[in-house]
């Protein structure tokens, strides 16, 4: 099976069945005198974010694309794997897990140990941009440049791939989560309104736009007025959100440009022909492709199902063990 252990969502692919599970990477834990107990995982736990009493915590165990809370991640993975296999009998699957390209040895170790403790027989780690490229259907085994920009929840990965190897890769810890945070801070500063993470994410997905045009889309949001201290409703427009996330978008654009600057000339020529593939949840941000295209002058292609391309790529690699051995990292 293949797992995309993301900061925002965890997606599981099982050979022969396709994608069987897509849930938010959130775990709700109840702490009491006897220790801690996992209450809910995934969608159920996400509903609890920012709405829990003191003894219950809704935790997102993945930060910036890597494991921040080891035990909770393990519980989450175990839950997902059991859910997929209906606990018929002890399963020891071969597992492919995708990790960010800038990952350290310690972080790799953590992912590997987690997968092994859940009962995997073989664990392969694959770099996310590589998996995303396979999932988007790029010809990675050929001597042409395949450029991928994968914007997830915790990290943005930019990579140029040729002959099943990574020619250039860069991982920036600036992605969806940081945009949510920026929207939250902006509304606090500008409107004196406190909102939660979930509301910020809703704003981003519904009216987030990198190049909004008149008439601007608008949306009503509810939060706590910081001056009067009582809940209130205000209306915000896409233009404001553009200003709020401008800095984050600039970082992503700069990372893309830096990759193009570092690419050898022959491969750069290929990129002009084939374009840059945009994938990950961030690819769904409105007009981001236009903005990248304006800034770089390259054609930008958004992959078919941006949220699943990483796990589909890892799944395709499972079927071809020769390619998997080539792209797996130690």
Task: Quickly list H helices, 31-69.
Answer: 43-48
- Indicate the pLDDT class of residue 272, thresholds 50, 70 and 90: very high
User: Mean of the per-residue pLDDT values for the chain?
Assistant: 90
Is residue 11 domain-shared with residue 81, that is, in the same domain? yes
Is residue 181 domain-shared with residue 163, that is, in the same domain? no
Nearest to 7, CA basis, from 170, 165, 171, 161: 171
Taking only the tens place, the pLDDT of each residue in 44-100 is: 998 888 888 888 988 888 888 788 888 888 888 888 888 887 666 666 778 899 888
pLDDT of residue 120: 81
pLDDT of residue 231: 95
Nearest to 314, CA basis, from 126, 115, 75: 126
- Indicate the pLDDT class of residue 291, thresholds 50, 70 and 90: very high
pLDDT of residue 270: 92
Stretch 121-130: mean pLDDT: 90
Q: Are 311 and 131 in contact (CB under 8 A)?
A: yes
Residue 295 CA to residue 42 CA, distance in Å, equals 37
pLDDT of residue 100: 86
Is residue 292 domain-shared with residue 154, that is, in the same domain? yes
258: its two tokens: 């830096």
Stretch 259-287: mean pLDDT: 92
Is residue 210 domain-shared with residue 317, that is, in the same domain? no
Give the count of alpha carbons within 13 A of 112, CB side only.
15
pLDDT at 292 over 90: yes
Is residue 122 domain-shared with residue 225, that is, in the same domain? no
Burial class (CB in 10 A: 0-12, 13-18, 19+), 262: middle
Rg of the Cα atoms in the chain: 20
Would 206 be classed as within a structural domain?
yes
More confident residue, 158 or 86: 158
Between the CA of residue 276 and those of 23, 49, 103, 157, what are the distances in Å? 28, 35, 23, 13
The CATH number given to whatever domain includes residue 169 is 3.30.420.40
Burial class (CB in 10 A: 0-12, 13-18, 19+), 210: buried
Is residue 159 domain-shared with residue 271, that is, in the same domain? yes
Is residue 295 domain-shared with residue 313, that is, in the same domain? no
pLDDT of residue 111: 86
Which of 213, 228, 244 is the last residue in one of the domains?
A: 244
Stretch 268-285: mean pLDDT: 92
Would 186 be classed as within a structural domain?
yes
Q: Are 150 and 279 in contact (CB under 8 A)?
A: yes
Which of 211, 227, 244 is the last residue in one of the domains?
A: 244
Is residue 13 domain-shared with residue 74, that is, in the same domain? yes
pLDDT at 115 over 90: no
pLDDT of residue 91: 67
pLDDT at 31 over 90: no
- Indicate the pLDDT class of residue 102, thresholds 50, 70 and 90: confident
Is residue 74 domain-shared with residue 105, that is, in the same domain? yes
Would 88 be classed as within a structural domain?
yes
Would 65 be classed as within a structural domain?
no
Residue 134 CA to residue 140 CA, distance in Å, equals 7
Residue 183 CA to residue 289 CA, distance in Å, equals 20
- Indicate the pLDDT class of residue 279, thresholds 50, 70 and 90: very high
Is residue 151 domain-shared with residue 300, that is, in the same domain? yes
Burial class (CB in 10 A: 0-12, 13-18, 19+), 114: buried
Is residue 161 domain-shared with residue 233, that is, in the same domain? no
The CATH number given to whatever domain includes residue 237 is 3.90.640.10
Nearest to 245, CA basis, from 277, 286, 280: 286
Residue 309 CA to residue 156 CA, distance in Å, equals 14
Is residue 48 domain-shared with residue 126, that is, in the same domain? no
Stretch 122-151: mean pLDDT: 92
Q: DSSP labels for 143-174?
A: SS-EEEEEE-SS-EEEEEEETTEEEEEEEES-
Would 64 be classed as within a structural domain?
no
Taking only the tens place, the pLDDT of each residue in 171-204 is: 898 899 999 999 999 999 999 999 998 899 999 9
Contacts of 290 (CB under 8 A, 6+ apart): 210, 211, 300
Could you give the number of structural domains in the chain? 4
Residue 264 CA to residue 281 CA, distance in Å, equals 29
pLDDT at 237 over 90: yes
Task: Tell me: cis bond preceding 215? Omega within 30 of 0 counts.
Answer: yes
Containing structural domain, residue 82: 1-23+70-137+305-330
Q: In the sheet that 146-151 helps form, which strands lie side by side, from edge to edge? A: 165-172, 156-162, 146-151, 276-279, 300-302
Q: DSSP labels for 226-295?
A: TTT-SEEEEEEEHHHHHHHHHHHHHHHHHHHHHHHHHS-HHHHHHHHHH-EEEESGGGGSBTHHHHHHHH
């Amino acid at each position: 099976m293949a797992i995309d252990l993301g900061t925002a969502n965890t997606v599981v692919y099982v050979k022969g069945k396709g994608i069987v599970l897509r849930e938010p990477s959130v775990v709700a834990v109840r702490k009491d005198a006897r220790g801690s107990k996992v209450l809910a995982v995934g969608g159920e736990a996400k509903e609890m974010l920012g709405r829990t009493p003191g003894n219950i915590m809704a935790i997102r165990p993945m930060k910036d694309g890597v494991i921040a809370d080891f035990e909770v991640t393990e519980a989450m993975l175990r839950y997902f794997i059991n859910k997929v296999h209906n606990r018929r009998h002890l399963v020891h699957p071969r597992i492919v897990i995708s990790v960010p390209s800038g990952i350290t040895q310690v972080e790799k170790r953590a992912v590997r140990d987690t997968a092994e403790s859940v009962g995997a027989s073989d664990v392969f780690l694959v770099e996310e941009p590589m998996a995303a490229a396979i999932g988007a259907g790029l010809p990675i085994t050929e001597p042409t440049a395949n450029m991928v920009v994968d914007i997830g929840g915790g990290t943005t990965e930019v990579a140029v791939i040729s002959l099943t190897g990574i020619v250039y890769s860069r991982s920036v810890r600036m992605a969806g989560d940081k945009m949510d945070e920026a929207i939250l801070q902006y509304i606090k500063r500008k409107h004196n309104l406190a909102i939660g993470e979930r509301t910020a994410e809703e704003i981003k997905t519904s009216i987030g736009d990198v190049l909004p045009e008149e008439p601007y889309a608008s949306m009503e949001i509810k939060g706590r007025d910081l001056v009067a201290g009582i809940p209130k409703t205000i209306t915000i427009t896409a233009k404001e959100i553009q200003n709020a996330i401008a800095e984050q978008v600039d970082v992503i654009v700069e990372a893309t440009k830096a990759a193009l600057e570092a690419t050898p000339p022959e491969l750069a020529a290929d990129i002009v022909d084939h374009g840059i593939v945009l994938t990950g949840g961030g690819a769904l941000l409105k007009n981001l492709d236009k903005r990248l295209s304006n800034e770089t002058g390259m054609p930008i292609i958004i992959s078919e199902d941006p949220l699943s391309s990483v796990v589909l790529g890892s799944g395709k690699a499972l079927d071809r063990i020769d390619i998997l051995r080539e792209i797996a990292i130690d």
